[in-house]
Amino acid sequence: MKNYDVIVIGAGPGGMTGALYASRANLSVLMLDRGIYGGQMNNTAAIENYPGFKSVLGPDLSKDMYDGATQFGAEFAYGSVENIEDHGDYKIVKTDDGDYKAGAVIIATGSEYKKLGVPGEDKFGGRGVSYCAVCDGAFFKNREVVVIGGGDSAIEEGLYLAGLASKVTIIHRRDQLRAQKILQDRAFANDKIEFVWNTNVTEILGDDMKVTGVATKNNQTGETGEIAASGVFIYVGTLPMTSSFTTMGITDDAGWIKTDNDMATAVPGVFAIGDVRQKTLRQITTAVGDGGIAGQEAFSYLETLKDKTASAQ
Ligand code: NAP
């Protein structure tokens, strides 16, 4: 079984920063991810709130972070983590492709988009229903699309889609957005974007092949209706990707991982960073900050273990 000082699970911005800090401290580091490095950054067109760049493409920033993370010897391997076994001074990380041993583990698995849970959503997945405008937006060039939600993702992706689609209708369940003010202002000023307020989508409609629109209900008046669209983009929040860690006693009731200010979880030697943590601001910048702390704290933890072993001899 391959043995590392630190295993980082998830190679998004947090995970890659954790790997950078730990490997630069001369630790052997493995980043494990079930997909390509970069995480959700790969699905983001323009990132405008990462310091040092006026605007940067998500995949470009991912590649730069990866090059930075691996320059001091951190390795990358594909693998879907099934669970972490805690053996006190060492951990076994079990994946679908074999097991690895580590002194410390940093969980950086992030979050995934929540489903809306209405009829038609699963049926038309990949046939008009999408959770990624950057991946699928080009299919809807000069067509009408609907975006559901009122947070940063809905508005940011709605703005991206407005550059491709002929019309973007953003349907929100309240009459106020929770997205950042700068995104709101841009969306309100965009001629191609129309808002439908106080409205729930009750069904995704389609023919045998593809989406044709959505059924709606105004939650103030009870009025029902339909909005025609070729694409439906759903951004109604995120869920933590922690199903592999639920038996470790480190998550809250909603599944987010609880940590202290040093990113330590309730299990010594297991740290958690980025979007998967219980926290209020989920951003690339905050994930990167978490990663730096966890990389350094993993180093300190392993030093303490070494001291303990030396004094026991
Ligand atoms: P979010 O902030 O949780 O917003 C989810 C939106 O969906 C809310 O407007 C919510 O309505 C609505 N919603 C939730 N359940 C719904 C339902 N069943 N039916 C209809 N609408 C529903 O999620 P997010 O926008 O995906 O953002 C996730 C995190 O990533 C946030 O921390 C966000 O700040 C961050 N993020 C940041 C950026 C950036 O900085 N550029 C970009 C993307 C995401 P209510 O408002 O009524 O609750």
Q: Is the CB of 150 under 6 A from ligand 1?
A: yes
Instruction: Kindly state if the Cβ of 173 falls inside 6 Å of ligand 1.
Output: yes
Question: What count of Cα atoms within 13 Å lies in the side-chain half-sphere of residue 189?
Answer: 6
Rounded Cα distance between 70 and 31, Å, is 10
For the Cβ of 297 lying below 6 angstroms from any atom of ligand 1, the answer is no
Question: How would DSSP label each residue in 27-44?
Answer: --EEEEESS-TTGGGGG-
The domains located in the chain, with CATH, are: 2-112+239-312 (3.50.50.60), 115-234 (3.50.50.60)
Q: Which ligand 1 atom sits closest to the C-alpha of 152?
A: 25
Name the helix (H) or strand (E) containing 312: helix 284-312
| C-alpha 14 – ligand 1 centre gap (Å) | 20
- CB of 290 sitting under 6 A from ligand 1: no
Whether ligand 1 lies within 6 angstroms of the CB of 33 is answered as no
What is the distance between the alpha carbons of residues 126 and 119, in angstroms, rounded to a whole number?
15
CB 116 within 8 A of CB 129: no
Q: Is 33 a catalytic residue?
A: no
pTM: 0.90
199 C-alpha to ligand 1 centroid (Å): 16
Q: How many CB atoms lie within 10 A of CB 28?
A: 17
CB 109 within 8 A of CB 276: yes
* Catalytic annotation present for 86: no
For every one of its 313 residues, what pLDDT tens digit does the chain have, with 9 covering 90 and above? 999 999 999 999 999 999 999 999 999 999 999 999 999 999 888 899 999 999 999 999 999 999 999 999 999 999 999 999 999 999 999 999 999 999 999 999 999 999 999 999 999 998 999 999 988 999 999 999 999 999 999 999 999 999 999 999 999 999 999 999 999 999 999 999 999 999 999 999 999 889 999 999 999 999 999 999 999 999 999 999 999 999 999 999 999 999 999 999 999 999 999 999 999 999 999 999 999 999 999 999 999 998 888 888 7
